[in-house]
Structure 1
Amino acid sequence: MTAASTAFFLDAGARGQRLCVHTPAASLDGAGAPLGQILLLPAFAEEMNKSRRMTALAARAFAAAGLEVLTLDLLGCGDSSGDFGDASWADWQDDARIAAAWLDGRALPGPDGAKPPLWLWGLRAGALLAPAAIEAVADRSVRLLLWQPVTTGKLQLQQFMRLRVAADLIGGQAKGAVQAMRDQLARGESVEIAGYRLSPALAHGLEAAQLKPSPRVSRVAWLELSTREDAGLTPAASMAVQAWQAQGAEVRAAVCQGPSFWAATEIEEAPRLIEASLAALTAGDDFATQPAVPPEAVAA
């Protein structure tokens, strides 16, 4: 049985505290050693809030399968210290580093002297924080579990700005809205978008962020969602997967049927995504050769 999750505040020094939820792994071998550790790198702004139920369900499922899970609220998000408008991209990178270091400090070497693998669970733009987390664990085998990843921050920023454009359309003031926001940020001023105050330091850092193939990453589980049962990866995703393979990583990539829960009006669930994730997280040496989506995740 999975032990109960524990909420606590992780010390970020002068930058305050970060609310974390730790879910220990169920003991599957009688010794209590987890099969691996997982760090959630959360989605951006309101996408994070819409995803909370899915990430909580997944964390419990992962822990029941023998993996230790840590989730956190970044600076200015949820119940962590600070305001969203005061956060910079560098702050969030530091948050990813301290969370990864906390998990790393708990990892015990196995009989072979190696620590269990660390999975960085990147949800949407959270994937862009993976390079910072990798920096904090120099001697670990690092793997990526990517849920509908955004691999260029410029795209996430553009999508976020369109929320303001949509609101201005209703008010008849959409003309030049994006350029006006960019001009405001260039002057060092924050902009208000969908109830969030976006600082220049966060906007510029996010826009420059990228997730590129790294030799430090041994496995990548790239999972996307579609309401269609026969959907395939987009051309951009296929190219990214090929780049990771060329770097030497083992890759599983698939599209699971389910709603875009991070952008839904109501809170949605995508159980098939969790099933496909579990199959990837617990796979053995056949990681890259077995179907990326298990039969139970595609059943009608």
Structure 2
Amino acid sequence: MATTEAFYTAVQPSPLGQRFCLWHADAAQAPRALVVHVHAFAEEMNKSRRMVALQSRALAAAGFAVWRMDLLGCGDSAGEFSDASWAAWVDDVLASVALARERHAATWPGAAPPELWLWGQRAGALLAAEAAQALAEPVNLLFWQPSLQGKQVLQQFLRLETAGALLGKNQEASSTQADAKGGARAALARGEVAAVAGYGLAPALTTGLEAARLAAPARQARLEWLDLAPAANQEPTPAAQRHIEAWTAAGWQVRHRSVAGPSFWQTTEIEEAPDLLEATTHALLTSPMAVPSCLGQAAQAALRQVAA
């Protein structure tokens, strides 16, 4: 039976080195693969906790071992959000991979090294891709509604403070600066921490985030790309399609699927997307056919029907 274990571990010998981790696995049998989760950015992480927990338990029940870590300054890990840098978060992802492998070796000492997946959600996909580039061997990637550019993530986040000021939720901020985005930008340009929507943003984080791109790592493997939409089986957006084509051209085996469900990472109440849970487990359990991902979904489906 799959179980969940919560614990703290040190990724470095410093006051900021403690990380909160979760391990989902069935100790009675070696897993078919290791899945390392890379969570979303800021409040999107908190809104997504239930869905990530449900998916982790579903994958563990299906024979996978799932490692989750709150990155530096996030959740129950050490530090404040303002202590985080983009480089430190990439290092945390790499530490997660190493620790998950150590846990696997200790739990199933006779088992062969398992296949590895990095599961990135939203901005976590940017971190996962960058970490995959730094690893010495190929790693499969699972994306949940991936952010395509860190610059866009930062811009959207800075707008939260502007919206709060316009709604009168932050009277002090609105009286001292007409444009909260400009104020945060100015603080960051001075090398200061900018307070946005209750989070402290350090230049070391925003500089790396703003430069991040969803680029294909050099060592090709599989990419399972899952999006949520008002209806199932919709085509990817033009921007997403361009990225899918670029990854395919770089030698990656890419499979995209959209499923119906709410954008749970940004809803007011905590919501679930059951179809995404099912689609994710199915994606990791099945190997994609060699159908060009640059084709639209309708063309891909037609080719698969012919092949069947």
TM surpasses 0.5: yes
Cross-structure match for 2:42: 45
**In 2, are the aligned partners of 1:94 and 1:132 still within 8 Å (CA)?**
no
Q: Which amino acid in 1 is paired with 2:24?
A: T
Alpha-carbon shift at residue 201 of structure 1 (Å): 1.2
CA distance in 2, matches of 1:132, 1:251: 17
**How much does 1:33 deviate?**
2.2
Cα 1:285–1:232, aligned 2, differ >3 Å: closer, same or farther?
A: closer
- The equivalent residue for 1:21 is 22
Counterpart-to-counterpart distance in 1, 2:38 and 2:64: 16
Instruction: Note closer, same or farther for the CA distance 1:250–1:34 as it changes in structure 2 (3 Å cut).
Output: same
Deviations 1:156-181 (A, max 9, x none): 00010010110121238474332222
- TM-superposed deviation, 1:287: 7.3
Distance 1:231 1:168 in 2: 36
- Confirm or deny that 1:143 pairs with 2:146: no
2:122 paired with 1:124 = yes
Distance in 2 separating the partners of 1:82 and 1:176: 29
| Code of the aligned partner of 2:124 | G
Report the counterpart of residue 95 of structure 1 in structure 2.
Answer: 92
Aligned to 1:215: 218
TM-score relative to the length of structure 2: 0.85
Matched, 1:11 2:44: no
Q: How far is the alpha carbon of 1:200 from its aligned partner?
A: 1.4
The 3 A distance-change label for structure 1 pair 230 and 222 is: closer
Name the amino acid aligned to 2:185.
R
Distance in 2, Cα, partners of 1:162 & 1:62: 35
Q: Which residue of 2 aligns with 1:69?
A: 66
C-alpha change, 1:289 and 1:241, in structure 2 (3 Å) is closer
Residues 26 and 231 (structure 1 numbering): CA distance in 2 closer, same or farther, change over 3 Å? Answer: farther
Match of 1:228 in 2: 231
Give the aligned residue type for 1:180: G
Q: Among all aligned residue pairs of Structure 1 and Structure 2, give the percentage whose two residues are the same amino acid.
A: 49
Q: Scaled by the length of structure 1, what TM-score is found?
A: 0.87
What are the within-5 Å matches in structure 2 for residues 249-288 of structure 1?
249-284=252-287, 286=289
Query: CA deviation digits over 1:35-92, x for unaligned, max 9?
Result: 1110000000000000000000000000111111001101111110011112111211
Gaps of 5+ in 1: 295-300
RMSD of aligned residue pairs (Cα, Å): 2.6
Q: 1:107 offset after TM fit, Å?
A: 4.7
